[in-house]
Structure 1
Amino acid sequence: MKKIVASIVAAFALVSAPAFAQADAASTAAAKELFDAMNYRTLMTGVMQQMSQGIGQSMRAGAEAAIKGNPKSTPEQKQQELAKLDTELPAAVGVLQGAMNDPALIEDILTETLPLYARTYSADELKQIAAFYRTPIGAKMLATMPKLTAEAMQIGQQVAARRITPLIQKLQEQKQATK
């Protein structure tokens, strides 16, 4: 039994080793060069601003769906919950927007993302990617990326909500039926 466990542990270590591999100095330097070519701080600031603008709408949609879909609540209770949502949501959205627009968040993301790029791509590959981002089409891609990312996230949230909301309602109905 000990040999089997040891074999499993050894196999896991070998399979997962690349995920924990350290980047070499050349790849790390090239990743920094890439982030400079991408104007990464500005790019991420734009992405976070786009996301923070839509966060209130997303939170409201999710909360409204939960309130309206609650089979335990009477119409009057649902109205009260919606009114409460109207008063409490702006403060919650403000806190989240503040966190998302905090420059320290961007620095943390940059610091923690840099090693990922450095160990995923070779120094040469990172230099080629950086060269692409310095071309007109690469620059256009970077300029449009925050808006595209935010819109793609909204689409993803809408698609997920269309699928998840009926599931939540069904679970609430099942829970209610078992009581």
Structure 2
Amino acid sequence: MKNILLAVTCAAAFAGVPSLVFAQDAAPAAAAQGSEQERAAVKELLAAMDVRKMMLASFTEMETALPQMMRSQMTAVINADPTASDEKKQAAMARVEQVLPGAIEAINRMFRDPALVDEMMAEIGPLYARNYSVAELKELAAFYRTPLGQKMLALSPRLAAESMAAGQKIVAPRLNGLMLEVMQNAQAK
């Protein structure tokens, strides 16, 4: 069960949000920092990017990709345990299949919570106001209004999901080895 929880946690960690996430409104943190010009420039950029829609689309992509990612991760962890017999591996996979739907539904509920988007936007938005000048924010907004900028926004959720899958493909074998080492060390104690 600990292995299942650990793998679910690792899979959930891959459920990140694309890097193009900004705050939509002058949240308390943003209101306390920056000039009216900065807040207006950030708001203009966010309008050009339709950030809320992009975040929701990213979450939808994650809901689609998550079951297979988690199943693959768990299968790899179970099969990588050289101390487990075939029967033990089959029993572990049966437990995964029992637990996985509930875990996926819980994570999907989290993605569907409207407060999640609001909270993320309120926390992340001020970063951009601190790292871009007003002129740069305006240039970014202008770019996102171009056909190429709109194409980039439209592709961002899918590219984020595909990038995450590629990252998992590369990281999963390394993570599995580390998890196996941790499990073996825990059993030795």
- The TM-score, its normalising length taken from structure 1, stands at 0.79
Paired position in structure 1 for 2:110 = 99
Q: Distance in 2 between matches of 1:175 and 1:108?
A: 37
Structure 2: tracts of 5 or more residues without a match: 1-31
Paired position in structure 1 for 2:75 = 64
Q: Distance in 2 between matches of 1:72 and 1:126?
A: 55
- The amino acid of 1:155's aligned partner reads A
What percentage of residue pairs aligned between the two structures are identical? 41
Residues 12-31 of structure 1: pairs in structure 2 closer than 5 A: 22-31=33-42
Q: Could you report, residue by residue, the CA deviation over 1:99-151 in whole angstroms, capped at 9, with x for unpaired residues?
A: 11222211211121221111111111101100110011111111111111111
Structure 1 residue ranges (4+ consecutive) displaced by more than 4 angstroms after TM superposition:
170-176
Q: Distance in 1 between matches of 2:183 and 2:121?
A: 41
Is 1:49 matched up with 2:39?
A: no
Paired position in structure 2 for 1:113 = 124
The structural deviation recorded for 1:175 is 6.3
Which shifted more, 35-44 or 106-115? 106-115
Paired position in structure 1 for 2:28 = none
Which shifted more, 139-148 or 107-116? 107-116
- Indicate the structure (1 or 2) with the bigger Cα radius of gyration: 1
Residues 29-178 of structure 1: pairs in structure 2 closer than 5 A: 29-170=40-181, 172=183
- Asked if 2 retains the 8 angstrom alpha-carbon contact of 1:71 and 1:173, the reply is no
- Asked if 2 retains the 8 angstrom alpha-carbon contact of 1:47 and 1:147, the reply is yes
- The TM-score, its normalising length taken from structure 2, stands at 0.75
Provide the secondary structure at the position in 2 that maps to 1:139: helix
Task: Point out the structure with the larger helix share.
Answer: 1
Question: How many pairs does the alignment contain?
Answer: 158
The structural deviation recorded for 1:75 is 1.7
